[in-house]
A and B are shown apart, each in its own frame.
Chain A
Amino acid sequence: MGEVWTWIISFLILITLVGLIVYQLMCLADLEFDYINPYDSASRINSVVLPESILQGSLCLFFLVTGHWFMALHGLPYLYYNFQLYLKKQHLIDVTEIFSLLDWEKKKRLFKLAYLILTLFLTLFWLIYSTLDDYEE
């Protein structure tokens, strides 16, 4: 039964992560269509950048602790990328250059989104798998 709970928790964390990324993408899209100004857009996005990285880091850790090393490994590149950006101090959006970087920032987040959705499917698979397992027992 513990297995199932592990997958349920990681599923919830992933949903939150997807939500954060989508939120950032929305801010960028709003900016592009001139619904909000760059100051608001940048501060909104920047306010969730760190939570996103931390949450993703803890998800990896969670997988590791619960012994799902494959899933932990799967999350490593993402974690490493975030960590690199943080070290270079490029994790936050630069409000002065936001328009010239707009395309890149969007692309970056779309990739993250795709990656998270892939992870989400894997998690779903494991969730169903372990549920069936439990059921059979």
Chain B
Amino acid sequence: MGTENQNYPNFPARPPPPSTSSSSPFASAPPPGVPPQSSGPQTVGFRPLSSQPTRPFTPSGPPMAPPVGAMRPMVSQIPGSRPPPPAYGGGPPGGVGGSFQRFPTPPPFPGSQNPPPSGPPPPTQTLAGHLSPPMSLRPQQPMGPPGGYVSPPGSGFQQSVPPVNPSYSGVGSGPPQPSFPGYPSNQGFQSASQGPVSSYPPQTGGFSQHPGQQNLHPGYAPPTTSSIQGLAEDFNSLSLSNIPGSLEPGLDPSSFPRPLDGDVEPKSFAEMYPMNCDSRYLRLTTSAIPNSQSLASRWHLPLGAVVCPLAEAPEGEEVPLVDFGSTGIIRCRRCRTYINPYVTFTDSGRKWRCNICAMLNDVPGEYFSHLDATGRRMDMDQRPELTKGSVEIIAPTEYMVRPPMPPTYFFLIDVSFSATKSGMLEVAAQTIKSCLDNLPGYPRTQIGFITYDSTIHFYNLKSSLSQPQMMVVSDLDDIYIPLPDDLLVNLSESRNVVEAFLDSLPLMFQDNGNVESAFGPALKAAYMIMNQLGGKLLILQNSLPSLGAGRLKLRGDDPRVYGTDKEYVLRVAEDNFYKQMAADCTKFQIGINVYAFSDKYTDIASLGTLAKYTGGQVYYYPGFQSSIQGDKLRHELARDLTRETAWESVMRIRCGKGIRCSSYHGNFMLRSTDLLALPAVDCDKAYAMQLALEETLLTTPTVYFQVALLYTASCGERRIRVHTAIAPVVTDLGEMYRQADTGSIVSVYARLAIEKTLSAKLDDARNAIQQKIVKALREYRNLHSVQHRLGSRLIYPESLKFLPLYGLAMCKSTPLHGGPADASLDERCGAGFTMMALPVKKLLKLLYPSLHRVDEWLLKPSVDHDDLKDVLRRLPLAAESLDSRGLYIYDDGFRLVLWFGRMLSPDIAKNLLGADFAAELSRVTLEEQENGMSKKLMRLIKKVRENDPSYHPMCFLVRQGEQPREGFLLLRNLIEDQMGGSTGYVDWMLQIHRQVQQNA
């Protein structure tokens, strides 16, 4: 499937922005810019129409459609068939018709939009799309509802109702299909929908590729008259129903939409407003803002945005730095909006009008510039703040409450027995030492350490010493700091002492047998040392805090709580100490990152609270062993220490008149109703927010958003990063759906669902996701049910075609999936904290990871291009994608799993694994061998890791059938499959469909 998919992008479902409403069927004609289909398998096929020959003539046809419609139907009969031409050739108006054959392609098929290959299609032609029922017919098994109609003469089809639809039992049953991906060529089809069924005997293919619709619920057998569908439709559809009389769903899962191209951002919007900031900084859940509260309430999806203020820009697109010098930063007097490309200059350049509040402001003398004839400033090109949606402004002293702080790194390291035994201490000390040169902010960088077990150890790192001095404090009830300063020192001055300390650290505690952990008091001590400066506090914790304030109980061990209404209590911080400490730390600009390593319960729920409210992150390495996870820790700790970080920052999002941010979701603390306090931010953190309309009616044609992040850069400059975006206000719900951004919606939903698990059962959180999707689709259905006969199809806008799948993936993600037994509490909470901070792309990758087959690629001699994207296709995440003769690589951004099929040629295994290829894979680590194949694979893995350096995916090897590792590492993550009580993709779609139809 993967392959075909790529071709699809060309068919955007939604019409170009200007074109409008859903009400006119024709609007959906392919957007002008869209090229006809690209080559590839698709070219051959065009979308077949659905099997209703009669349609055109139905009275209900749209007025305009007739001509086209007429031909359509005929075509449609042949769904899926590639060969049909002869039969139909003579077909009615079918000149055009001939050209439409069914698309071999899968899911994402915006039905209506596929233009015929030839020439620019008249708008009307587009229609056929959805209507065609997809059908996979097995040869000889025609199926269809009895009510069928007669196939057109000459077509040579027979219609019959299949008793049972075997069709879709998986790849295996398909004829000779080698593997899943391969199937595009054979398409069988069965058309069930719309009642009539034409079977196409000769055809054999196991899969129906067609995303069209199938309909198979007995109850829903569509009337034959559904001809209206001949019209262009603005939406995609999938028909999901059973064939009458058969129990087995006759669905063709291969036709379901899958995001095999990764995250595709809506493009049209960026093109419309080129001065908007890039979507990596700000993504709205829909780029069309509703003009009234009533409209907003009908849009059941979240109205919001995901902001990643410091996202890494590719080279050449860095955010320009602007210095207003003595002029001072130019902002609106009333609403404090920063000057941006959307302000307008009037009064021959002496005044400017704020785009957010419409206030007329004076232009300062130094900033004055004449306007040209069109009202543009003459100096526009020299001023990035007037041309770019993202700029960084150097802030003068008015924006500081104190001199900019130096980058500060403070380490709170657990040195108890398990920390030394697992090797954590050694890896951490080495990593910190190796990063000393790369810490940002030289020469101002400050550094300090505390270690603790049952006592707290302070280290005097004064530059005049040759060796660090250790001071032990064992009074945990009344913590005091043994030295007023020198516990937090300037790195460049004390470099030698710090290095000496890091060298000796693992040795000092080598034989430490202490198993206690005075974490709470140590945290307090660190807080007391840091609260003058602020900075980043890295906590490396190896066991459950057991002494002093903040001691935690082994509450996760109590099985009686699981599955009850009280279960959520386990997912929130047990002791108020943690929330209080987090709040205090944020107040003093301390950001906390928690690294947890224990193999036993450590109550990540409580520890993570520290990161959550200080804008930090949780890294969880269950059962850390330096031999296995050492590399991961090394990379992630190094990344944490060396990435560009914004210190003591606050972020505010200003919205145009009539709209405001109603809630925020992510890791931060609110300092006032709309001000996010972020002691340390970096490019790997994103924040979500929901918007609410304040006024019942928005009268402006557009709405502006401005994200401003005021921070101290590592170099000591105070800066303001400003991202500005504009979005049109619309009156039409259809337009909102068309402009929706699935990635952003999923991101907001995931955060809402995770927050919900903190106050409700997992089940409730999952149901909430499903309900929201159902409501949205139902509303969408209602929107179209008036003009279109929808029959039993599930319809959805092109922009949201992946939403149901991502919804399913969310329900199966670590924080939400299964019951209490399916993931340890710590893993769940750790993943929850991580997901709350992930930027959109990274989250989507985690939800729907990529799966590639690599054995064939490895065998190919070509060496030049090994870009994952070019060479390898992504496969659907289903067990059917796995061939026991293959080698697969699974990548969710956090780990890589190499899956060795049972029948994989031993040569490959031997080449990759060296001598121990037959050994149990859990003990084997992948190392580069002296042969081309292994080098090629390692290069690939390296590339994958470099593509996204925010986390270091660890590589796991697993052989087919190796339980329980296989299940845990891979099978459980094949989210389209039904696994132990969870729903598969097909069932999920059926459930959603059923619910959408209720009360529709």
Residues of A within 8 A of B (CB): 31-32, 34, 37-39, 89, 92, 94-96, 98-100, 102
Contacts of A100 in B (CB 8 A): 663, 670
Decide: A96 near B663, CB < 8 A? Known: A37-B671, A37-B672, A39-B587. no
Contacts of B670 in A (CB 8 A): 38, 98-100
**Contact present for B669 and A96 (CB under 8 Å):** yes
Q: CB-nearest residue of chain A relative to B573?
A: A96
The proximity string for B residues 564-596 relative to A, scoring 1 for CB distances below 8 Å and 0 otherwise, is: 000000000000100110110001000000000
- Between-chain CB contacts (< 8 Å), 10 pairs: A34-B672, A34-B673, A38-B671, A39-B583, A89-B576, A92-B576, A94-B576, A95-B580, A96-B579, A102-B673
Distance, CA A105 to CA B117, complexed state (A): 62
Distance, CA A97 to CA B968, complexed state (A): 36
Nearest 3 interchain pairs by C-beta:
A99-B670, A34-B672, A95-B583
Q: Which of A92, A96, A99 is in CB contact (< 8 Å) with B583?
A: A96
The proximity string for B residues 586-615 relative to A, scoring 1 for CB distances below 8 Å and 0 otherwise, is: 010000000000000000000000000100
Distance, CA A31 to CA B671, complexed state (A): 10
Distance, CA A92 to CA B580, complexed state (A): 12
Closest chain-A Cβ to B583's Cβ sits at a distance in Å of 5
Distance, CA A32 to CA B673, complexed state (A): 7
**Contact present for A38 and B672 (CB under 8 Å):** yes
Distance, CA A37 to CA B613, complexed state (A): 16
Distance, CA A92 to CA B670, complexed state (A): 18
Contacts of B669 in A (CB 8 A): 96
Closest chain-B Cβ to A21's Cβ sits at a distance in Å of 22
**Contact present for A94 and B579 (CB under 8 Å):** yes
Distance, CA A32 to CA B613, complexed state (A): 20
Q: Interface extent on B, as a size class?
A: 10 to 19
Distance, CA A95 to CA B663, complexed state (A): 16
Number of residue pairs spanning A and B whose beta carbons lie under 8 angstroms apart: 30
Distance, CA A38 to CA B669, complexed state (A): 10
Contacts of B579 in A (CB 8 A): 94-96
Q: CB-nearest residue of chain A relative to B673?
A: A99
Closest chain-A Cβ to B986's Cβ sits at a distance in Å of 38
Contacts of A31 in B (CB 8 A): 672
Contacts of B587 in A (CB 8 A): 39
Contacts of A92 in B (CB 8 A): 576
Contacts of A98 in B (CB 8 A): 670
Distance, CA A37 to CA B586, complexed state (A): 13
Distance, CA A60 to CA B199, complexed state (A): 82
Contacts of B672 in A (CB 8 A): 31, 34, 37-38, 99
Residues 643-666 (chain B) with a chain A CB within 8 angstroms: 663
Closest chain-A Cβ to B605's Cβ sits at a distance in Å of 14
Contacts of B576 in A (CB 8 A): 89, 92, 94
Distance, CA A86 to CA B672, complexed state (A): 27
Starting from the known contacts A96-B613, A98-B670, A100-B670, 10 additional A-B residue pairs (CB-CB under 8 Å) come to A31-B672, A38-B670, A94-B576, A95-B579, A96-B583, A96-B669, A99-B672, A99-B673, A100-B663, A102-B673
The proximity string for B residues 611-642 relative to A, scoring 1 for CB distances below 8 Å and 0 otherwise, is: 00100000000000000000000000000000
Distance, CA A31 to CA B675, complexed state (A): 12
Distance, CA A96 to CA B576, complexed state (A): 11
The proximity string for B residues 519-537 relative to A, scoring 1 for CB distances below 8 Å and 0 otherwise, is: 0000000000000000000
**Contact present for A96 and B673 (CB under 8 Å):** no
The proximity string for B residues 710-722 relative to A, scoring 1 for CB distances below 8 Å and 0 otherwise, is: 0000000000000
Q: CB-nearest residue of chain A relative to B609?
A: A96
Q: CB-nearest residue of chain A relative to B587?
A: A39
Closest chain-B Cβ to A76's Cβ sits at a distance in Å of 26
Q: CB-nearest residue of chain B relative to A99?
A: B670
Distance, CA A99 to CA B673, complexed state (A): 6
Closest chain-A Cβ to B189's Cβ sits at a distance in Å of 52
Q: CB-nearest residue of chain A relative to B579?
A: A96
Distance, CA A37 to CA B669, complexed state (A): 12
Contacts of A34 in B (CB 8 A): 672-673
Closest chain-A Cβ to B302's Cβ sits at a distance in Å of 16
Distance, CA A99 to CA B580, complexed state (A): 15
Contacts of A95 in B (CB 8 A): 579-580, 583
Q: From A96, A98, A100, name the one whose CB has the most chain B CB atoms within 10 angstroms.
A: A96
Distance, CA A95 to CA B579, complexed state (A): 8
Distance, CA A95 to CA B670, complexed state (A): 9
Q: CB-nearest residue of chain B relative to A42?
A: B583
Closest chain-A Cβ to B549's Cβ sits at a distance in Å of 16
The proximity string for B residues 668-681 relative to A, scoring 1 for CB distances below 8 Å and 0 otherwise, is: 01111100000000
Q: From A31, A92, A95, name the one whose CB has the most chain B CB atoms within 10 angstroms.
A: A95
Distance, CA A38 to CA B673, complexed state (A): 10
**Contact present for A96 and B582 (CB under 8 Å):** yes
Distance, CA A100 to CA B668, complexed state (A): 13
Q: CB-nearest residue of chain A relative to B580?
A: A95
Contacts of A32 in B (CB 8 A): 673
Distance, CA A92 to CA B579, complexed state (A): 12
